[in-house]
Amino acid sequence: MTWLDKLERRFGFLGIPGLIRIMIGFTALVWALLWLNPNFRSALDLDPARIRHGEVWRLVTYIFVPQTLSFWVVLALWFLWFIGEGLERAWGPFRLTLYFFVGMIGTTIAAFFFGSNFSNGMLIASLFFAFARFYPDEIIYVLFILPIKIKWLAWVFAAFLLLGFVLNSNSYRAALIAAFANYFIFFGPEIIRQAT
């Protein structure tokens, strides 16, 4: 019995069924509100200085802030739904909830340590890589035309993240490591076993 099995047996009731669907719903709501008032974003971002001054809702609300106001958000949220459903099928609600919150807590700690604003982008990327781990041969159509297996898309994305890690600031590196801590905690032992 793995440590995850033990945690699930003891705390399984804390799993949130449909967690990613809930996140998508709130993100869509925030996206609509940002169209009405773009300044609303500054009230939701993960800003450690403002959290220290009592704006504690920012510990959660940054998760719902979309990366762009364009209509690409609709496609991104649809893809996130696809990923979330697959992960919940593979893991169940408890493990997906744990994975998500470990990444979220890591991102928040990194933001406080480096004192800069962090977004939910890396956290969502970690969900994508978990999905790619479970469903490497799943085919998606990039721009609804080009068929590509998830594993190849993940390798390309990993190359861009690695390049960003090398070229960007320490806060970017911290965001990447913190948001992917969940990936390495959940999949690290399996990756090490496969490598040896």
Contact (CB, 8 A) for 88 and 81: no
196 has pLDDT over 90: no
Its sign, for the CA torsion 33, 39, 44, 45, is: positive
Mean pLDDT of 148-155: 94
149 strand-pairing partners: 139
Mean pLDDT of 170-194: 84
Task: For the chain, report the end-to-end CA distance as a whole number of angstroms.
Answer: 22
Closest CA to 33 of 61, 60, 54: 61
For the entire predicted model, the pTM comes to 0.88
Closest CA to 151 of 135, 174, 175: 135
> What fold is seen in the domain 13-195?
Rhomboid-like fold (1.20.1540)
Q: What is the pLDDT of residues 47-94, one digit of tens each?
A: 888 888 999 998 999 899 988 778 788 888 999 999 999 999 999 999
